[in-house]
Amino acid sequence: METLSAYEPAGWKESKKSQRLLGKVVGSLLLTLLVGKAAIAQETAPPPESSAVVMAKLLEQLQAEDARLKDLEAEVARLKLAQEAQGTTEAANAAAIAASVPPPPSSEPHEHSMQMPGGGPVLKIRAFADFNLGLGSDANHLIFPLVPNGTPIHNTFQIGEFDLFLSSRLSKTVSAVAEIVIGAGQTNYWGLDIERLQITYKPSPYFSISGGRYHSSIGYYNTAFHHGTWFQTATGRPFMFLFEDSGGVLPVHQVGVTTYGLVPHSGKLEMHWVAEMGNGRSSDPTGQPVQNFFSDKNHKSFNLAAYIRPQWLSGLQMGGSYYHDRLVPVGIPHVNENLASAYAVYINSEWEIFNEAVLMNHKIDGAAKSFNSPLAYTQISRKFGVYRPYFRFQYVNIPNGDPVSNYTGRYEGPSAGLRMDFTEYAALKVQYNRLYQRALPARNGVEMQAAFTF
């Protein structure tokens, strides 16, 4: 079989040779041009740098960047100082403005607060007051029995006690309270009394200690209700717990030290203990009954009390106390004063039941006779909406010739009343009193009271 080249025309082979020769020449020329261009490029390029030169240039660049960074840091520090100085000035201006503007009222209801400029403990202030209308001879507990028997008592409008209660927390474990009362007596002159002034250290629920003027832990009522009549259901305190300057027969105020706390491991009984030591009452029944500064004897009174709040009946509290003092009346030997109390109370959102009794004993040294005075009251009330009707019966019987008491005789009778809380922080009370006394005719009185807090 013949190949295709056998059919090529004459002269074609010569032409192919010429083409191959031309290709070789062109290829040689292109190669020569490429090599020459590379040589020219190699001659014009800078010579390669050594590694030492490169490292020197890099180090120079790093040093320049480091200097630039330090300049930036210095600028930032300068701006920060300027900003802090401006903030300090603004804070000082704000503090000056705040010092010139009264602080806003506390978020707690009927409570105001004050704070010392520049910080410090916050002083909280609450106020309590009452306004009364008394009708009849036994209308107002602040009038009788201060006046002598037989003194006429007229119907009267009366401003009761204006009570300022102050409290402050000095640290997590230290607090202070004060109660300042302004009131008028049968002379109609205003008088000021510091009824309570205490500083308290309470490191735990098991121990707390207070020093100053406080309400003695005799019974329940005296430490549960202080000088704000708004807290009390009735218009006034039971006769046995009247304050000393209102004719009270018990040492309800003390100046000294009181300690108290929860008994460890008392479980569901929640037993508490109280131990107190103070100046005791004055030995002179006609003088200032509370020895605030000067004591008329070296001997100090002491009081021991205990109570339980069982968890199985919320609102129940039962307890008792024993108080002892040794008085030195003028013209007679020393008098030992012993007070034994017991109580049971039950309080919840509806019911209020009080039962208390105190046996007061006075015995003159060397005398065979002692003077025993039983004191007691019971009170019950129930709340129906804003209305709370209540009933109280009380009994006090102090023998004639008692060497210490400023009141002697029998004082007993019922009181019935109605309290209406027409707003959250104000109440109207109407109370009827019927009083029986030894060798005296029965007495009656009606008292109307508006008690409020603000």
Query: What are the pLDDT digits (tens) for 316-331?
Result: 999 999 999 999 988 8
pLDDT above 80 for 61: no
| Residues 243, 289: Cα–Cα separation, whole Å | 10
* Residue 15: exposure state from Cβ atoms within 10 A (0-12, 13-18, ≥19): exposed
Q: How far are the Cα atoms of 37, 186, 214, 242, 343 from residue 239, in angstroms, in the given order? A: 128, 18, 19, 5, 16
DSSP secondary structure string for all residues of 342-354: EEEEEE-SSEEEE
Question: In the prediction, which pLDDT does 180 show?
Answer: 96
- Say which CATH class 112-453 falls into: mainly beta
DSSP secondary structure string for all residues of 368-379: S-EEEEEEEEEE
Question: Strand 426-437 vs strand 370-382: parallel, antiparallel, or unpaired?
Answer: unpaired
Question: In the prediction, which pLDDT does 94 show?
Answer: 45
Question: In the prediction, which pLDDT does 313 show?
Answer: 94
Question: In the prediction, which pLDDT does 57 show?
Answer: 62
Q: 166 forms bridges with which residues in the sheet?
A: 125, 178
Mapped onto helix, strand or coil, the DSSP state of residue 448 is strand
* Residue 391: exposure state from Cβ atoms within 10 A (0-12, 13-18, ≥19): middle
Look at 231-240, 306-315, 438-447 and tell me which has the smallest mean pLDDT.
438-447
Q: What are phi and psi of 41, to 5 degrees?
A: -60, -35
| Residues 145, 405: Cα–Cα separation, whole Å | 13
Residue 142's contacts (CB-CB under 8 Å, 6 or more residues apart) are 158, 160, 161, 183, 185, 236, 246
| Residues 252, 216: Cα–Cα separation, whole Å | 5
The predicted model gives 158-181 an average pLDDT of: 95
Question: In the prediction, which pLDDT does 407 show?
Answer: 84
Look at 108-122, 193-207, 336-350 and tell me which has the smallest mean pLDDT.
108-122
Q: Which of residues 137 and 82 earns the better pLDDT score?
A: 137
pLDDT above 90 for 20: no
| Residues 29, 403: Cα–Cα separation, whole Å | 149
Question: Strand 207-215 vs strand 440-453: parallel, antiparallel, or unpaired?
Answer: unpaired
pLDDT tens readout for residues 172-213: 999 999 999 999 877 788 999 999 999 999 999 999 999 999
Percent residues over pLDDT 70 in the chain:
71
In this structure, the number of other CB atoms found within 10 A of the CB of residue 378 comes to: 15
Look at 145-154, 220-229, 341-350 and tell me which has the smallest mean pLDDT.
145-154
Q: Specify the DSSP element, H or E, that contains 12.
A: helix 12-44
User: Contact 143/155 with Cβ under 8 angstroms?
Assistant: no
Cis omega before residue 145 (within 30°)?
yes
The predicted model gives 211-231 an average pLDDT of: 94
pLDDT above 80 for 396: yes
pLDDT above 60 for 34: no
In this structure, the number of other CB atoms found within 10 A of the CB of residue 411 comes to: 22
The predicted model gives 120-139 an average pLDDT of: 88
Look at 61-70, 154-163, 362-371, 426-435 and tell me which has the smallest mean pLDDT.
61-70
Q: What are phi and psi of 44, to 5 degrees?
A: -85, -25
Mapped onto helix, strand or coil, the DSSP state of residue 265 is coil
Q: What are phi and psi of 167, to 5 degrees?
A: -145, 150
User: Contact 398/247 with Cβ under 8 angstroms?
Assistant: no
- Residue type for 1, please? M
Mapped onto helix, strand or coil, the DSSP state of residue 386 is coil
Average pLDDT, the chain: 81
User: Contact 272/309 with Cβ under 8 angstroms?
Assistant: yes
pLDDT above 70 for 116: no
pLDDT above 80 for 29: no
The predicted model gives 41-48 an average pLDDT of: 46
